[in-house]
Amino acid sequence: MAPTLNKVHVPAGIPNEVMVNYYSQRAKAGLIIAEGTGPAENGMGHAHMPGIYSKDQIAGWKKVTKAVHENGGRIFLQIMHTGRISHPANMPAKADIIAPSAVAAKGEIWTEQHGWQPYATPRAMTTSEVQKMVQQYVKAATQAIDAGFDGVELHAAHGYLMDQFLHPDTNQRTDKYGGSIHNRVRFILETVAAVSHAIGRDRTGIRLSPYSQVNDLQHHDEIDATYEFLADALDTYGLSYIHLLTEPATPAMLIAGIRSRFRGTLILNGDYDAIHAEQTVLNGLADLIAFENPCVSSPLSGKFEMTSSEPLKKPNYACANC
């Protein structure tokens, strides 16, 4: 089950009984990747976003993972720092909006207090803050394991903090974290190395979206080269998986290039129905296909179960935020 922000009202980012029921009812999906969850106060850019940095949040997630396991499922937590995709009204008091560079996203974001508001201009992170953020991800990952998760997915997609480092329009840094492809992937690779060392390579996955234009991402000339370089580097860490978004249309050559470079599990997520998904796996283009719509659209009053004999009536489109 692919991750999606559920927009459930969660004061102080603490998972509640609605989320316990939601995820336990979908345990039959097999592997659940839980929704984007903030690793720190300054990463809570969306309204109604859960966190994994406080004792109460960890306690709330323990109830979720316990319920999923009791119903036969497995569950990873998607760790998502929003970076510049934020507004002060959504953030805890005194939390700065930070990003690789002080470049505001175009568009608006929903706030509970004031409705739709323009994105705020973030403060550029110092080199020291980037290095400290690596450790914040490590702390979040270890706390996710403490909360009973089977692993974590690092969200490096859809224009959030990790993805902001990859793109030259959102990363205008002149230190070792900006400029060349090698430098722009550095923060992600340092985080991958530290997290996989802390909780285990088999418990660490990553989410990528090469051609997404969500959250004011802009296409650039080095997209393919960036993700091929990244796939080569990620392969050396022996991660559990790469979770690759294929919509909007990611060129088949790039998907094949990532597949050939990364020897771990490749999960694809995008415009798939049951037949297309089965053919993709049988043809060796991916190991797994992640679905969202058939999972999320299942009513909360009933348990979700999807069998291979039930073709999907509608194609699945990946969550715009997760």
Give the pLDDT confidence score for residue 103 in this predicted structure: 98
**Please, which pLDDT band fits residue 322 given cuts at 50, 70 and 90?**
low
Return d(Cα 265, Cα 254) in angstroms, integer.
16
- Spacing of C-alpha 225 from chain mean position: 21
234, containing H or E segment: helix 223-235
Return d(Cα 151, Cα 139) in angstroms, integer.
13
**Please, which pLDDT band fits residue 305 given cuts at 50, 70 and 90?**
very low
SS3 category, 38: strand
**Please, which pLDDT band fits residue 313 given cuts at 50, 70 and 90?**
very low
79: left (phi > 0), else alpha (psi -120 to 50), else beta? beta
* Residue 177 near residue 133, CB atoms below 8 Å: no
**Please, which pLDDT band fits residue 7 given cuts at 50, 70 and 90?**
low
Mean pLDDT of 286-304: 62
28-38 confidence digits (pLDDT tens): 888 999 999 99
Which residues sit opposite 213 in a β-bridge? none
- CB neighbours (10 Å) of residue 33? 28
* Residue 177 near residue 130, CB atoms below 8 Å: yes
Residue 142: CA count within 13 A, CB half-sphere: 10
Mean pLDDT of 264-292: 90
Residue 281: CA count within 13 A, CB half-sphere: 14
Residue 93 vs residue 130, higher pLDDT: 130
Return d(Cα 77, Cα 33) in angstroms, integer.
6
Average pLDDT value over all residues in the chain:
90
Return d(Cα 305, Cα 26) in angstroms, integer.
7
Question: Is the confidence at residue 318, as pLDDT, over 80?
Answer: no
Q: pTM, whole model, 2 decimals? A: 0.91
* Residue 220 near residue 167, CB atoms below 8 Å: yes
Looking up tokens 């009053």 gives 301
Start-to-end CA distance of the chain, whole Å, equals: 12
Mean pLDDT of 265-292: 90
Question: Is the confidence at residue 25, as pLDDT, over 70?
Answer: yes
Give the pLDDT confidence score for residue 273 in this predicted structure: 83
CA angle 121, 126, 190 (to 5 degrees): 110
CA dihedral 118, 181, 178, 218 (to 10 degrees): -20
201-223 confidence digits (pLDDT tens): 999 999 999 998 889 888 999 99
Give the pLDDT confidence score for residue 314 in this predicted structure: 44
SS3 category, 297: coil
Cβ-based burial of 279 (10 A; exposed 0-12, middle 13-18, buried ≥19) = exposed
Mean pLDDT of 44-61: 97
Question: Is the confidence at residue 11, as pLDDT, over 50?
Answer: yes
Mean pLDDT of 230-246: 96
**CATH classification of 11-296, choosing from 3.50.50.60, 2.40.40.20, 3.40.50.2300, 3.20.20.70?**
3.20.20.70
**Please, which pLDDT band fits residue 299 given cuts at 50, 70 and 90?**
very low
Mean pLDDT of 251-277: 92
Return d(Cα 140, Cα 226) in angstroms, integer.
26
Q: Where does the chain show beta strands of DSSP type E?
A: 31-37, 74-79, 98-99, 108-111, 115-118, 123-124, 151-156, 204-208, 241-245, 265-269, 288-290
Which residues sit opposite 290 in a β-bridge? 269
Question: Which sequence positions are flagged as catalytic?
Answer: 160
